[in-house]
Amino acid sequence: MYINENGEVVKNTNPNVGLYILDSQGKETKVNIPEDSLGFQLGQAAQIHSSGVLRATPHYVKAAAGSSYSRNTFAVFLQPHWDTAMDSAVDPYTFGISEKQWKPNMNFGEFTEATIKYFYSTDSEEPMEFGKSQL
């Protein structure tokens, strides 16, 4: 949904604005979700708990620089309890989880804090190229 400076719903007139993902072939792809549809995105907690069967999709939103409207969404996050063990039957490093995010015996709270630091730290040794941030 796009809203102008008067609070009115408007159409997006910029074809480059919106949600982008890194698809399974590693290609940056714009996603267009129809107005009468819902989009679902799995996070890395689901990826770890499913031992890599389910995969998180790296994504970002590209804004319209200097435009007179904004993109608005309603995100709902389903996640484990803060103290839930982040166990996996398979080593998470084998399916794309960084050593800076996950360590054996971590709980979800520790994983969340490490993940935020990994993706948003300004002194990261591994800068994110895809969309400047993958979250």
Any idea what DSSP says for residue 130? G
Q: What is the pLDDT of residue 135?
A: 36
pLDDT band at residue 1, thresholds of 50, 70 and 90? Answer: confident
Q: Where are the alpha helices (DSSP H) in the chain?
A: 44-49, 108-120
Concatenated DSSP letters for 81-112?
Answer: -TT-B---SS-GGGGT--TTT--TT-BHHHHH
Place of tokens 């689901």: 46
pLDDT band at residue 50, thresholds of 50, 70 and 90? Answer: very high
Q: State yes or no: pLDDT of 99 exceeds 50.
A: yes
Q: How many CA atoms lie within 13 A of 71 on its CB side?
A: 16
pLDDT band at residue 134, thresholds of 50, 70 and 90? Answer: very low
Concatenated DSSP letters for 36-64?
Answer: T-------HHHHHHTTTSS----EEEE--
Pick 96 or 129 by higher pLDDT: 96
Residue pair 119/135 in contact by the 8 Å Cβ criterion: yes
Tokens of 118: 């990994």
Q: What is the pLDDT of residue 83?
A: 96
Three-state secondary-structure class, residue 45: helix
For residues 11-16, average pLDDT: 83
Residue-wise pLDDT for 102-128, tens only, equals 999 999 999 999 999 988 876 655 545
Q: What is the pLDDT of residue 133?
A: 41
